[in-house]
């Protein structure tokens, strides 16, 4: 794997994780303020832009690598999103959730390695 | 509050208290969720189904129009030349709308790990529908994901039972 490929995989992963956290914030905001508020609109637009960047980078990577090769990196997104949701969104993280998340990630990596 | 079924035995009252607070916060969140088609769990399943089909379409579409020589192909934009990619985009938009709805009601620490059930549905789909073989290592991976999903989903199932 070249440096360029690694760079695009990381950018794709980071933009995907950031998009999920921003979208979660946006949807949380609708509970108190409804859908007609600038905060919600801007956050959704930001989330969609980041998801689009991640989507096209993944499409570019798929043209060069097998889906099974790229999948372990998608597995990492489970760990990153769960961790970042606990840190940034202050969501509660139980021991059971943590173990479950780690097992899911390890399973995804094994599935793609085989 | 159903903490008797916890997999982690602990003598620490502080830790027990913390677990109880986690359960209570989750239960409160679940109480005001809609039912029927608006049920966030149904929407989560729909979102996963759309992603599953789109993964196959994307891979096939991307390889159909692959042009590795072009520097622009790193951006993936040339993939838009394939109609399969457009169908995949349509499904991704549908799954995205369902996903936004899910995010409104379910904590992302639970919803996102559960959504990754798609990672075992892809190889299982290849096995069932395309007759592809699954190696022992891949079965181990699938088993790990299933155990992980069960661990994440169990507290939810207990809370749903109580509601």
Q: Where are the alpha helices (DSSP H) in chain A?
A: 3-33, 38-62, 67-88, 95-113
pLDDT digits (tens, 9 = 90+) for B124-158: 877 787 677 888 888 898 899 889 888 888 766 66
Beta carbons of B84 and B60 less than 8 angstroms apart: yes
What is the token pair recorded at B102? 């899910």
Using alpha carbons, select from B87, B93, B28 the residue that is nearest to residue B60. B87
pLDDT for residue B29? 59
DSSP string computed for B43-96 = HHHHHHHHHHHHHHHHHHHHHHT--TTSGGGGGTGGGGGSHHHHHHHHHHHHHH
Within a 13 Å sphere around the CA of B12, how many CA atoms are in the beta-carbon half?
A: 5
Please check the confidence at residue B47 and state whether its pLDDT lies above 90: yes
Nearest to B104 among A30, A56, A85 (CB): A30
Q: Which of A8, A21, A34, A104 to probe by mutation at the B interface, max B CB count within 10 Å?
A: A104
Cα separation of B50 and A31, whole Å?
26
A-B interface: how many C-beta pairs under 8 angstroms?
A: 177
> How far is residue B109's CA from residue B128's CA, in Å, rounded to a whole number?
30
Whether residue B90 lies within 8 A of chain A, CB to CB, comes out as no
Output the pLDDT for position B6.
Answer: 47
| 0.85 surpassed by complex ipTM | no
Contact call for B107 and A92, based on CB within 8 A: yes
Of A61, A77, A103, the CB nearest to B148: A103
pTM: 0.73
**Across residues B104-123, what is the average pLDDT?**
87
The pLDDT-based confidence of B68 (bands split at 50, 70, 90) is low
């Amino acid at each position: 794997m070249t440096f360029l490929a690694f760079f695009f995989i990381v950018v794709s992963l980071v933009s995907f994780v950031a998009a999920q956290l921003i979208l979660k914030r946006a949807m949380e905001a609708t509970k108190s303020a409804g859908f007609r508020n600038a905060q919600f609109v801007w956050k959704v637009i930001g989330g969609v832009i980041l998801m689009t960047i991640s989507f096209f980078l993944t499409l570019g990577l798929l043209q060069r690598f097998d889906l099974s090769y790229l999948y372990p990196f998608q597995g990492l997104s489970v760990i990153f999103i769960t961790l970042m949701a606990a840190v940034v969104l202050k969501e509660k993280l139980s021991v059971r959730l943590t173990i479950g998340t780690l097992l899911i990630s390890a399973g995804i990596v094994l599935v793609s390695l085989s | 509050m159903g903490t008797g079924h916890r997999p982690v035995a602990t003598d620490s009252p502080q830790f027990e208290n913390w677990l109880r607070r986690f359960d209570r916060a989750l239960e409160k969140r679940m109480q005001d969720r809609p039912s029927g088609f608006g049920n966030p769990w149904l929407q989560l399943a729909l979102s996963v189904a759309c992603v599953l089909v789109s993964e196959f379409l994307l891979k096939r579409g991307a390889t159909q129009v692959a042009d590795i020589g072009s520097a622009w192909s790193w951006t993936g934009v040339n993939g838009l030349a394939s109609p399969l990619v457009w169908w995949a985009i349509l499904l991704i938009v549908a799954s995205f709308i369902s996903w936004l709805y899910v995010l409104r009601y379910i904590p992302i620490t639970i919803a996102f790990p559960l959504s990754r059930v798609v990672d075992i549905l892809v190889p299982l789909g290849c096995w069932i529908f395309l007759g592809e073989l699954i190696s022992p290592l891949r079965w181990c991976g699938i088993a790990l994901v299933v155990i992980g999903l069960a661990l994440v989903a169990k507290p939810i199932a207990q809370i749903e039972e109580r509601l």
